[in-house]
Amino acid sequence: MSSETQQIRELAAQDYKYGFTSDIESDTIPAGLSEEIVALISRRKDEPDFMLEWRLKAYRAWLEMSVPDWAYLNVPPMDFQSISYYSAPRKKEGPASLDEVDPELLETFEKLGIPLGERARLAGVAVDAVFDSESVKTTYKKELATRGIIFCSISEALREHPELVRRYLGSVVPMRDNFYAALNTAVFSDGSFVYIPKGVRCPMELSTYFRINAAGTGQFERTLIIADEGSYVSYLEGCTAPMRDENQLHAAVVELVALKGASIKYSTVQNWYPGDREGRGGIFNFVTKRGLCEEKARISWTQVETGSAITWKYPSCILKGDDSVGEFYSVALTNNHQQADTGAKMIHLGRNTSSTIISKGISAGLSQNSYRGLVQVGSKATGARNHSQCDSLLIGDRCGAHTWPVIDVRNPDSVVEHEATTSRISDDQVFYCRQRGIKEEDAVSMIVNGFCREVLAELPMEFAVEAQKLLGLSLEGSVG
Amino acid sequence: MNGARTLAGWLTDPPEDAGLVAGAERTRLALRALELGLPTARDEAWRYSRLEGLAEEELMLAGEGPAPTAPQLTALTPEGVRVDRVVVVNGRLMPELCEIGPLPAGVGFGSLRAMARAAQGGLKEAADLLERLDSLCRPDQRMFSALNTALAGDATGLWVPDGVRLERPLLVISLVLPGADALLTQPRLLVVIGRESQASVMEAHGGFGPTPYFCNAVSEFQLGAGARLEHLRVQRDSPAGRRVSGAFLRVEAGAHVRSHTFTTGGRSVRNEFQLELAGAGARGEVNGLALLSGESVVDNHTHVTHLAPDCESRQTFRSILAERSRSVFTGRILVARDAQRTDAVQSFAGLLLSDTARALARPQLEILADNVKCTHGATVGSLDPDSLFYLRSRGIPKALARRLMIHAFCSDMLGRVRTSEMINPLDRLVTRTLAEQA
């Protein structure tokens, strides 16, 4: 291993010393969960009454639910009463500017090709100090506003557009959907809200990066995106650097609504802290993501998952309208002690609906990587079509790759295909590259990138470049 | 003759003459079966099997049955082929119907109870065979295995010593002929093939009449190193019949097994396959074809475990579903850490012929070794309209064209059978079933 890669590896492995130091106490409510706490969260956020009722209902439903145990995951028992459910907005005591940040960390950002503004945010620098966020914010806000696009935090949306939020929030992921969705509904602190009016094509990729307040939205994030008839939006979610977070549990809910002829592209690059080499620490990521497609609508999920100690995530498309399209492209990479149980659900209800699932799982080290998915064709979904492809790549002899797809077809005039393969990087491939003077680690990185090419091609350009580098970085030390 | 009782009733107080094991062991298994209980719709693995109401149903424990009619027998027997056969009616062996020709020295084929008597008389082979009973079907974890061992009337045993090649296929015909009362029958087969030996075994299961019955079949197969076995199973159940049948196969180093199951009806048929590739270079093939119509449900569960390196497994399942029938395929491949250079393939294809038919596939891979080649595929669709049009444009009537295409879909499965004597009878069975369903 070259000294350069060695350095990055050490850097990626070291403890995170900067940023996110402490919350000011007055902003954090006591740990534990009760009706009072739920009411307190709602009150602090100055929400309309219907929200409080909704949250309380979800909380009562949650009390009756139990932690799901069907996934191929080893989840240590969690004490939901020891978590503080509201800690935003956070005030941070961080370095004042990028000059004060550890140069090695900056070098990692450089490697990943993170935009300058985002680097500062990730290093815990208060962004306003180094980067004129206001101007960025206002420039894009103005441009979006001229087209009638609403892009704000969900709390802001609740205050300013309660009718929209009320109509759609919880319409795709009902509060009783699952344990973590119910928990999220009861206690979510903030998240993003997007509304694209009829026939509008959003001129830019919307990203949480643009919105400063998204940085502190904490562990229970709620995202709601509504694309009205004939509109288009591409939304990027994620953090793209080896970011540390003190929160153990993340239970987010993402709801997408694509009305007639609308198209939503949702891209995620997830690189939460995966825990150390011995599997200590790391984020538990339990996410419910679902989209509803009306007639001729299209929802495309693209995800690159390299982080989190535990990932439990099944982005879904409900293809309700005729001729609607659902897509899912995913790369899930696990290394060391990481565990991932992830996949997609495609529910075909309308006629001539089609869906595609391309899932690439890579397991290295001692990790366990599972694909779990559902393709369901309802009895009225005449002409439905699905193609699923799940490929797994194993690196090392102590990891596991598993596939658990479910295919349920109730309509004869539909075609459903599922393919899966599991293989490893062959010695021949590596030998061929090395013979041509390519270092072993570079060869592996190249082969892995080739393996994931179909998915990476779906990512917006700048994300794709980062994701490729991320894959290489996450695999450091797993070969040789 | 005892009156009808529920399953639990039979298990709490089993009749004296029932069961394949004696005394304390039988009591223990009966209790274990009670303890495990019947699966419910809440058990994920049993969600789609229709066993509802079985616990309450009053059943007669199968005993002496009527003599089968000639058509009932021939419906399941290959014509014009010399085979050695054992006939079991309602769980009892019918010695007058068995035809067992001279077999090579050391080969035992017939009633397990008779073999137990022979073992007491000092026949070592019989004792060796009996020793293997229950070694694969996990009666301590699987309720239906415990139930079978505790309550079965008799079983069929086959012992092939090392280095023997059986020229003729062996046939076990197992019929359910219920009278007025609902019936519980438990066919059992135990096959042990010695090192470097070869055999072909066909199980023909049939159920007749309008009376409901529950058939709980268990078959265990052990193959010594280098052995070869082809296992064929035909299941023709009546629309009132429910069946759970388990095939448990263990294959040692260098041995090959091929198992084919043809299911053509029944209210609910659950086929479980457990294939263990236990020695290096073992090869196992598990195939299933279901031709269903009416309200039939077939639920295929496979569990293929690669325990040793360099093994190969193939699973191919096809379902043709007309009317309101339903097919479930849950296939699982588990590759253990040491099973390097595993080559495993699993495929399911469902053909839906009506708006109300339904196919569900759950192909699963669980892989813990790194140097493996595992693939699975599942497709569900209907007849290709272009091909249908092509045939019709050549003057073939629509119904016939459809049948031709469906037959072609099945022929892939028939083509996997190697026991040449059986290919034609199976083909006739498929043709007849398709004609009946049309």
Q: b vs e for B151-181, b when ≥16 Cβ sit within 10 Å of the residue's Cβ?
A: bbbbbbbbbbbeebebebbbbbbbbbbbeee
Q: Does B324 touch chain A (CB under 8 A)?
A: no
> How far apart are alpha carbons B385 and A180 in whole angstroms?
45
Cα A94 from chain centre? 26
> How far apart are alpha carbons A244 and A226 in whole angstroms?
31
B242-269: pLDDT as tens digits = 999 999 999 999 999 999 999 998 999 9
B380-421: pLDDT as tens digits = 888 989 999 999 999 999 999 999 999 999 988 999 999 888
Cross-strand pairs, B299: B270, B328
Closest chain A CA to residue B44? A70
Three-class SS state of A430: helix
Domain membership flag for residue A126: yes
**Is pLDDT at B45 greater than 60 in this prediction?**
yes
Which residues of chain A from 377 to 396 reach within 8 Å of chain B, CB to CB? 377, 379, 392, 394-396
Q: Does B225 touch chain A (CB under 8 A)?
A: no
A340-397: pLDDT as tens digits = 999 999 999 999 999 999 999 988 888 899 999 999 999 999 999 999 999 998 887 7
Which residue among B356, B364, B370 sits closest to A396, beta carbon to beta carbon? B370
Q: In this predicted model, which residue has the larger pLDDT, A83 or B278?
A: B278
Return the pLDDT at A21.
Answer: 35
Cβ neighbours, 10 Å, residue A127: 17
> How far apart are alpha carbons A240 and A467 in whole angstroms?
8
* Closest of B372, B364, B285 to residue B329, by C-alpha: B364
Q: Does A53 touch chain B (CB under 8 A)?
A: no
- Contact A312/A285 with Cβ under 8 angstroms? yes
The tokens describing B364, both together, are 């699963």
Count chain A–chain B contacts defined by CB atoms under 8 A: 112
ipTM of the complex: 0.74
Query: Backbone phi, then psi, for A194, in 5-degree steps?
Result: -130, 135
Instruction: Check B381 against A392: CB less than 8 A apart.
Output: no
Q: What is the DSSP letter of A221?
A: B
The tokens describing B423, both together, are 């290919």
Domain membership flag for residue B139: yes
Q: Which residues of A touch B353 (CB under 8 A)?
A: 412
Q: b vs e for B250-268, b when ≥16 Cβ sit within 10 Å of the residue's Cβ?
A: bbbbbbbbbbbbbbbbbbb
Q: Which residues of A touch B292 (CB under 8 A)?
A: none
**Is pLDDT at A128 greater than 70 in this prediction?**
no
Return the pLDDT at B287.
Answer: 96
Domain that holds residue B36: 7-252
Residue with tokens 């009053």: B58
Q: Does B358 touch chain A (CB under 8 A)?
A: yes
> How far apart are alpha carbons B343 and B33 in whole angstroms?
36
Mean pLDDT of chain B: 90
Cβ neighbours, 10 Å, residue A172: 21
Instruction: Check B380 against A407: CB less than 8 A apart.
Output: yes
Give the count of domains, chain B.
Answer: 1
Q: Are strands B92-93 and B84-89 parallel, antiparallel or unpaired?
A: antiparallel
CA end-to-end span of chain B: 42
Q: What percent of chain B has pLDDT over 90?
A: 60
Query: Backbone phi, then psi, for A197, in 5-degree steps?
Result: -70, 170
Which residue among B354, B360, B377 sits closest to A419, beta carbon to beta carbon? B377
Domain membership flag for residue B334: no
Give the count of domains, chain A.
Answer: 1
Domain membership flag for residue B397: no
Return the pLDDT at A12.
Answer: 44
Return the pLDDT at A1.
Answer: 42
Domain membership flag for residue B308: no
Task: Quickly state the pLDDT bin for A246 (edges 50, 70, 90).
Answer: low
Return the pLDDT at B281.
Answer: 95
> How far apart are alpha carbons A305 and A283 in whole angstroms?
13
Q: Does A401 touch chain B (CB under 8 A)?
A: yes
> How far apart are alpha carbons B34 and A239 in whole angstroms?
54
B185-194: pLDDT as tens digits = 999 999 999 9
Cα A254 from chain centre? 9
Instruction: Check A397 against B371: CB less than 8 A apart.
Output: yes
Cross-strand pairs, A316: A290, A345
* Closest of B181, B203, B237, B172 to residue B61, by C-alpha: B181
Residues 6+ apart with CB under 8 A from A214: A153, A190, A191, A192, A208
A57-112: pLDDT as tens digits = 999 999 998 888 888 888 888 777 777 776 544 444 445 555 555 565 556 556 55
Residues 6+ apart with CB under 8 A from B136: B220, B221, B222, B248, B249, B250, B274, B276
The whole-angstrom distance between B348's CA and the closest CA on chain A is 9
Domain membership flag for residue A480: no
Q: Which residues of B touch A414 (CB under 8 A)?
A: 352, 380-382
B190-220: pLDDT as tens digits = 999 999 999 999 999 999 889 999 999 999 9
pLDDT average, residue stretch A7-35? 50
* Closest of B63, B70, B47 to residue B10, by C-alpha: B63
The tokens describing A458, both together, are 């779906």
Return the pLDDT at B261.
Answer: 96
Domain membership flag for residue B380: no
> How far apart are alpha carbons A9 and B38 in whole angstroms?
54
Q: Where are the alpha helices (DSSP H) in B235-368?
A: none
Return the pLDDT at A112.
Answer: 54
Residues 6+ apart with CB under 8 A from B351: B318, B319, B320, B321, B380, B381, B382, B383, B406, B409
Cross-strand pairs, B277: B251, B306
> How far apart are alpha carbons A363 and A400 in whole angstroms?
7
Q: In this predicted model, which residue has the larger pLDDT, B307 or B378?
A: B307
> How far apart are alpha carbons A57 and A182 in whole angstroms?
9
- Please state whether the predicted TM-score (pTM) of the whole model is above 0.90: no
pLDDT average, residue stretch B219-238? 95
